[in-house]
């Protein structure tokens, strides 16, 4: 049984769909319903970590609100998020990536979260 932190199709950009590595970062090998998601909890996923915070009635996963909680599936539960969520390790990698533009100048990657 797994917990999947997913984004509803309407939120995804069809031109920039997540790859399998991105999806593995959002799968937790265990069941986590919202009552189990306590403030400060850190879940280790197949490819990174997710930190849970509570703000009033809202539950945030790495700063992204769960918009549709506890959707039961055949092999576990889905927690739908209101936007794409990155794991802590993925954010660290993205924030440190640099590339060269066409003129050979170093440019940093700007993240849209």
56 — alpha (psi -120 to 50), left (phi > 0) or beta? left
CATH superfamily of 2-85: FAS1 domain (2.30.180.10)
CA distance 57 to 64: 13
Lookup: tokens for 22: 């991105």
What does the pLDDT read at residue 41?
94
Quick: pLDDT tens for 25-69: 888 999 999 999 999 999 998 888 899 999 999 999 989 999 999
| Percentage of the chain exceeding pLDDT 90 | 43
């Amino acid at each position: 049984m797994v917990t999947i932190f997913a984004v509803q199709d309407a939120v995804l950009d069809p031109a920039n769909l997540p790859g399998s590595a991105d999806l593995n970062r959002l799968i937790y090998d265990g069941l986590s319903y919202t009552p189990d998601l306590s403030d400060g909890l850190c879940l280790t996923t197949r490819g990174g970590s997710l930190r849970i915070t509570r703000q009033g009635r809202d539950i945030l996963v790495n700063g992204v609100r769960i918009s549709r909680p506890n959707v039961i599936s055949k092999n576990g539960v889905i927690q739908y998020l209101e936007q794409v969520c990155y794991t802590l390790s993925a954010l660290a990698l993205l924030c440190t990536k640099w590339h060269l533009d066409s003129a050979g100048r170093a440019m940093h990657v700007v993240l849209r979260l």
